[in-house]
Chain A
Amino acid sequence: MSIIPQSVTEFPWRVLGLLGAIAIFGTLVLYSAAGGSITPWAINQGVRFVIFAVMALVLSRIPLELFARFAFPAYGAVLISLVLVELIGGVAGGSQRWINLGFMQLQPSEFMKPIIVLAVARFYAMLPVGEIRRWNAIWPALVLIGVPWALVLVQPDLGTATMILAGGITVMFLAGLPLRLFIGSGLTVAAIIPIAFSFLHDYQQKRVLIFMDPESDPLGAGYHISQSKIAIGSGGIWGKGFLQGTQSHLQYLPEGHTDFVFATMAEEWGMAGGVFLIGAFMLLFRWGIRVSLRTPDKFARLVAAGLTTTIFFYMAINLMMVMGLAPVVGIPLPFMSYGGSSMLTVMLCVGIIMSIDRSTRRATRVGNWA
């Protein structure tokens, strides 16, 4: 075992290999979505993945303590930029999610997805154990989650808001709050949903309604879901073959390279491709959960499990959306959908989890040798 240098055995080969496999698959799908061309999507996506993978590896070298220390400052910074977006957005009109920094478009709500996990985890890590069943354990977390959630919701960006909420709540759940709180609020939410529905924007309401019955408006707002289901359904077990997808190549499938990339993939690779992709993601989540279970540190395990769940939400919401199980909310599929923001976020998550993994391994090794 000593033949291989420690730095090599420590290198997270397995998880990188897994991500690489997903990313290569995603790049192939984008290559096909562009009609058999590496431009404009496949090449960008590939380069981006390499860059972000390097970034994740760099993150993995950063000591965990640093994340813990910077959790709140980072949270504050993102929160301020969310407010800024809201202020500038008022001028631009409509749905404003970006800050134009001149050299790049910054989407602060995207960063909020991992940061909320860090912040809430940090809060519970700091909380004395005995306080966990008290009101003091609940309201600060709710504020931490509620403020960015509300800011993103009014952008309006239902998908991201939901993910911020879900990420935060997951950490609260993992932190050990009484179970009845979750069951109780679950029931309350179920009762409130109809009321909340009426506060949604028209187009959001429409999306939700059409999700219930996409065929009611196959040429209008239900077009996305209908065409997506046609693409997936027509793929069958083995798909129509690489570059043979008609729904995507003939432009029936809208957003075939971004939000609905899974449909593009499923049309050409069929059920087999879908099972492979979902399976790969499941392995990634298993890795993340196992990292969290191995870690003795409270902050670290909350973060590891929380971030894993954040990535999971990306995948689950996106796939449910393209398969007609959820309304169209504009959540991309990590590594597959074309676009930098989501990949950056997910790679941030992965990098942090790798860092946790690394510190755990070191601690264990040291413990073993001691």
Chain B
Amino acid sequence: MKFPTPKRKIVTEATQSFTFSRRAMVVGGLQGAIGALLVGRMGWISIAENEKYQLLSESNRVNLTLIPPRRGWIIDRNGRPLANNRTDFRVDLIPQRIVDAEATVRHLAQLLSLQPDDVDRIKEELDKSAGFRPVQVADKLTYDQFAAVSVRLTDLPGVAPSQGFSRHYPAGATVGHLLGYVGAATAEDYKKRKDPLLITPGFKVGKDGLERAYDEHLTGKPGAKRVEVTARGKIVRELTTRPDTPGNPIKLTIDAGLQEYAGRRLATQSGAVVVIDCQNGDVLACASMPSFDPNSFSDGISHLEWDMLSKDDHVPLRNKVLQGLYPPGSTVKPMVALALLEAGVSPAETVSCGGAIRVGNTLFHCHKKRGHGPLNMRGAIAQSCDIYFYQMAQRIGMDRIASMARRVGMGQRFDLPFPSQSYGTVPDPAWKLKKYNQKWQVYDTVNATIGQGYMLINPLQMAVMAARLATGRQLMPNFLHGAARPEPALVGVPEEHLVTIRDAMSAVVNGGGTGGAARMSIPNVLIAGKTGTAQVRRITMAERAGGVRGNAGLPFKLRDHALFQGFAPFDNPRYAIACIIEHGGHNIRNEDAPMIASDTMSYLFDPQKAMEKLVTLEKGWGGTPAERQARQMAAFRLAKAIEKGQAPPPAAAANGSEPANAAAPAASPPSPPAPPAEADDGNDLPAPPGPGTP
């Protein structure tokens, strides 16, 4: 069969054939043109825009992870580490990538045998986390635990095990307030700085203390790990890795040994010790106890531990050295005496103490009810006679005392690398007028003379006062080793006045004065000092009539603060010290301010002997602070469990936890006496005077 094309239309057929040929050429030509267009397009993409797409391809392929830089060490004046870094296996959670948070946390808790309170903390942080910020699950893992998590990664989306460094504080709690701690950056930090380093798992910023103040200095440059990843995020292989540059170290004036000693020597008390080098104002120790363990803070503290710390009446979360304000009590008397000397009072002049004097219509008592009899300046300081100072202070007036107080550092603000500080007050007529719009009264002077009333001081200021009384120079406290600073100004008193004061302060300790407990057993080194008692309550008329009730019988919060400031050696001062025991009440002799101060001071002269004594004492206190805190934690956990009804209340266990600081709240103090009734108070003074130093 042939095609049905009639032969008679040959011309038309030829025309059509010609049309076909022409159009087929056109089609072919179009195909060629489109082919050329495609080649051109390809050339444009792969040659002209090659660089752009190569970059995009690289950013697809390569995943850059930052390696958190190791933090600079914080070392003491002798190069011993106060804060260093420890190799650490850790596991984090990336909230964004988690599929089933509940199951993931449960699985991890089982793998890593996490405590219930850790689990609670993780869940809480997961809730709060903004999605990009990693939540720490656990660190300081053993290799086996780390490996156990690592092999299950495919079942655990969002879990990021890593090997890094964690901050370590060898001295534990004793440096807690001084150094602060580190922790993961907050979401606000990240929003402010937009630095991807902040959300890198394992990266910590300084949160408090010197860690925060010198954060920038201590933070190094991050390293970078480049890994090849698939579109699904699976790591194919590691490419180049740039190591991190560790942060710069900081050398402090702190003596690590002394710092730890001071912290431990504070025993079970709530107190602070500051030691200052009399040559240049370097702070050698700055301890506030009890404290938190910065190691556990840096790991992300458990809810339970936080709860325990914040409920403790020994306020472990407050840095008492810089944030604690106390009435200085009788520790101001040497300063007042110096003002008296400056005002022309002869040190030999005597005042007869009969136990009380009347100022205006109020009777002001001496701490010794029967009176001291006639006393000169040396005796008045040694015996801490209130009557002597009541009388003498009235003679020279408050302004001169206030001027001296300021010159020895009371009320002075120091430019220190700590985020939060409170400064004491030196009241004078102008101050009172401005603050309360009231006229200064004579009893105000009398109160201020014995460090009560409006007068307040923090432990650092007290140590500065001791150092300035010792040297006559306005030393400024300093924490950075070798920091350049100007020659200190002089207090502006003649040397013989200082000699008089130093001699009197020595008599406090070594001459039968009130500070006998502070005597040091270092040959040829005598410590000079001044004790103090700061009242935190009013003495009622009933009490006065029936004799001041023993502090031991009072509830903790109502007991007097115990204070001590001093220096050694007394005739050529090398170190100055201040010690404050909150609500110490002078109850336990070896845990009272004078002996703590003197033992700490003795460490500087004979560390071995001082340490021996401390170890013996600690046995009676229930071990080192770390041991005591662990026991406290266990008791607290148990108490919480009892509260929730998860554990039976143990009959004997509660008594066993006695040595721990304000242990379980379940163990209430035996029969707290009723607080003194305000109504009984006959006079209406703003701050009634109390007895001075015992």
CB-CB under 8 A for A247 and B46, given A125-B3, A323-B41: no
Interface-lining segment among A14-22, A50-58, A277-285 = A277-285
Cβ-defined contact, A233 with B31, below 8 A: no
Residue A165 lies at the interface, judged by CB distance under 8 Å to chain B: no
Cβ-defined contact, A278 with B39, below 8 A: yes
Docked complex Cα distance between A126 and B27 (Å): 23
Residue B99 lies at the interface, judged by CB distance under 8 Å to chain A: no
Determine which of A175, A237, A246 lies in contact with B57 in the assembled complex, contact meaning CB atoms within 8 Å: A246
Determine which of A232, A246, A293 lies in contact with B21 in the assembled complex, contact meaning CB atoms within 8 Å: A293
Cβ-defined contact, B45 with A229, below 8 A: yes
**Minimum C-beta distance from B57 to chain A (A):** 4
Docked complex Cα distance between A176 and B24 (Å): 10
Docked complex Cα distance between A125 and B4 (Å): 8
- 0/1 per residue, B11-55, Cβ < 8 Å to A? 011001101110111011001101100110111011101101110
Interface-lining segment among B228-236, B420-428, B456-464 = B228-236
CB-CB under 8 A for A250 and B49, given A174-B24, A293-B24, A309-B31: no
Residue A65 lies at the interface, judged by CB distance under 8 Å to chain B: yes
Q: Which residue of A lies closest to B16 (CB)?
A: A176
Docked complex Cα distance between A222 and B236 (Å): 26
Note all chain B residues with C-beta closer than 8 A to A286. Answer: 28
CB-CB under 8 A for A129 and B16, given A252-B231, A305-B24: yes
Note all chain B residues with C-beta closer than 8 A to A229. Answer: 45, 53
Cβ-defined contact, B31 with A292, below 8 A: no
Determine which of A68, A233, A271 lies in contact with B52 in the assembled complex, contact meaning CB atoms within 8 Å: A233
Cβ-defined contact, B21 with A234, below 8 A: no
Note all chain A residues with C-beta closer than 8 A to B232. Answer: 251
Cβ-defined contact, A297 with B53, below 8 A: no
Determine which of A230, A231, A297 lies in contact with B3 in the assembled complex, contact meaning CB atoms within 8 Å: A297
Residue A102 lies at the interface, judged by CB distance under 8 Å to chain B: no
For window 38-78 of B, CB contacts with A under 8 Å fall at 38-39, 41-43, 45-47, 49-50, 52-54, 56-58, 60-61
Cβ-defined contact, B24 with A285, below 8 A: no
Interface-lining segment among A36-44, A149-157, A312-320, A343-351 = A312-320
Residue B668 lies at the interface, judged by CB distance under 8 Å to chain A: no
Residue B193 lies at the interface, judged by CB distance under 8 Å to chain A: no
Note all chain A residues with C-beta closer than 8 A to B41. Answer: 320, 323, 325
Cβ-defined contact, A298 with B23, below 8 A: no
Cβ-defined contact, B50 with A233, below 8 A: yes
Note all chain A residues with C-beta closer than 8 A to B53. Answer: 229-230, 232-234
Docked complex Cα distance between A150 and B49 (Å): 40
**Minimum C-beta distance from B55 to chain A (A):** 8
Q: Which residue of A lies closest to B18 (CB)?
A: A176
CB-CB under 8 A for A129 and B12, given A234-B56, A246-B57: yes
Note all chain B residues with C-beta closer than 8 A to A305. Answer: 20, 24, 27
CB-CB under 8 A for A233 and B49, given A266-B42, A298-B5: yes
Note all chain A residues with C-beta closer than 8 A to B43. Answer: 271
- 0/1 per residue, A93-134, Cβ < 8 Å to B? 000000000000000000000000000000001101110100
Note all chain B residues with C-beta closer than 8 A to A68. Answer: 3
Cβ-defined contact, A278 with B35, below 8 A: yes
Residue B344 lies at the interface, judged by CB distance under 8 Å to chain A: no
Q: Which of A234, A292, A293, A319 has the most CB of B within 10 A?
A: A234
Cβ-defined contact, B57 with A130, below 8 A: no
Docked complex Cα distance between A356 and B197 (Å): 70
Docked complex Cα distance between A266 and B25 (Å): 30
**Minimum C-beta distance from A172 to chain B (A):** 10
Residue B673 lies at the interface, judged by CB distance under 8 Å to chain A: no
Q: Which residue of B lies closest to A318 (CB)?
A: B38
Cβ-defined contact, A234 with B42, below 8 A: no
Q: Which residue of A lies closest to B59 (CB)?
A: A230
Cβ-defined contact, A232 with B38, below 8 A: no
Determine which of B31, B46, B236 lies in contact with A270 in the assembled complex, contact meaning CB atoms within 8 Å: B46
Residue B1 lies at the interface, judged by CB distance under 8 Å to chain A: yes
For window 301-332 of A, CB contacts with B under 8 Å fall at 301-302, 305, 308-309, 312, 316, 319-320, 323-325
Cβ-defined contact, A271 with B42, below 8 A: yes
Docked complex Cα distance between A320 and B41 (Å): 9
**Minimum C-beta distance from B4 to chain A (A):** 6
Residue A23 lies at the interface, judged by CB distance under 8 Å to chain B: no
Cβ-defined contact, A173 with B23, below 8 A: yes
Residue A214 lies at the interface, judged by CB distance under 8 Å to chain B: no
Note all chain B residues with C-beta closer than 8 A to A274. Answer: 39, 42, 46
Residue B6 lies at the interface, judged by CB distance under 8 Å to chain A: yes
Contact-residue bracket for chain A: 35 or more
Docked complex Cα distance between A129 and B9 (Å): 8
Cβ-defined contact, A129 with B60, below 8 A: no
Q: How many B residues touch A, CB cutoff 8 Å?
A: 46
Cβ-defined contact, A234 with B50, below 8 A: yes
**Minimum C-beta distance from A104 to chain B (A):** 32
Note all chain A residues with C-beta closer than 8 A to B27. Answer: 170, 173-174, 289, 305, 309
Docked complex Cα distance between A316 and B54 (Å): 25
Cβ-defined contact, B47 with A271, below 8 A: yes
CB-CB under 8 A for A174 and B20, given A129-B13, A247-B60, A305-B27: yes
Q: Which of B5, B20, B21, B54 has the most CB of A within 10 A?
A: B20
Cβ-defined contact, B23 with A176, below 8 A: yes
Note all chain A residues with C-beta closer than 8 A to B31. Answer: 282, 285, 289, 308-309, 312, 316
Note all chain A residues with C-beta closer than 8 A to B5. Answer: 128-129, 298
Q: Which of A126, A132, A237, A323 has the most CB of B within 10 A?
A: A323
Docked complex Cα distance between A139 and B254 (Å): 101
Q: Which residue of B lies closest to A300 (CB)?
A: B3
Q: Which residue of B lies closest to A237 (CB)?
A: B47
Q: Which residue of B lies closest to A304 (CB)?
A: B24
Cβ-defined contact, B61 with A250, below 8 A: yes
**Minimum C-beta distance from A257 to chain B (A):** 15
Cβ-defined contact, B46 with A235, below 8 A: yes
**Minimum C-beta distance from A35 to chain B (A):** 11
Residue A67 lies at the interface, judged by CB distance under 8 Å to chain B: no
Residue A275 lies at the interface, judged by CB distance under 8 Å to chain B: yes
- 0/1 per residue, A253-273, Cβ < 8 Å to B? 000000000000011001100
Q: Which residue of B lies closest to A288 (CB)?
A: B28
**Minimum C-beta distance from A44 to chain B (A):** 24
Note all chain B residues with C-beta closer than 8 A to A278. Answer: 35, 38-39, 42
For window 47-74 of A, CB contacts with B under 8 Å fall at 65, 68
Residue A146 lies at the interface, judged by CB distance under 8 Å to chain B: no
Note all chain B residues with C-beta closer than 8 A to A308. Answer: 31
CB-CB under 8 A for A236 and B231, given A250-B61, A281-B35, A323-B38: no
**Minimum C-beta distance from B567 to chain A (A):** 70
CB-CB under 8 A for A174 and B13, given A233-B53, A252-B60, A323-B42: no
Docked complex Cα distance between A172 and B628 (Å): 98
Determine which of B24, B25, B57 lies in contact with A230 in the assembled complex, contact meaning CB atoms within 8 Å: B57
**Minimum C-beta distance from B37 to chain A (A):** 8
Residue A335 lies at the interface, judged by CB distance under 8 Å to chain B: no
Docked complex Cα distance between A252 and B62 (Å): 12
Docked complex Cα distance between A232 and B47 (Å): 10
Note all chain A residues with C-beta closer than 8 A to B20. Answer: 174-176, 298, 301-302, 305
Q: Which residue of B lies closest to A179 (CB)?
A: B23
For window 211-257 of A, CB contacts with B under 8 Å fall at 227, 229-237, 246-247, 250-252
Q: Which residue of A lies closest to B11 (CB)?
A: A129
Note all chain B residues with C-beta closer than 8 A to A270. Answer: 46
A-B contact pairs, 16 of them (CB 8 A): A170-B27, A229-B53, A233-B46, A233-B52, A236-B46, A246-B61, A250-B229, A252-B61, A252-B231, A274-B42, A282-B31, A286-B28, A292-B24, A305-B20, A305-B24, A319-B42
Q: Besides A129-B13, A246-B61, 20 other CB < 8 A contacts?
A: A129-B9, A173-B27, A176-B19, A233-B46, A233-B50, A233-B53, A236-B50, A251-B230, A252-B60, A252-B61, A252-B230, A271-B43, A281-B35, A282-B31, A286-B28, A289-B25, A293-B24, A301-B24, A305-B20, A308-B31
Closest 7 CB pairs of A and B: A233-B53, A234-B57, A289-B28, A176-B19, A251-B231, A246-B61, A250-B230
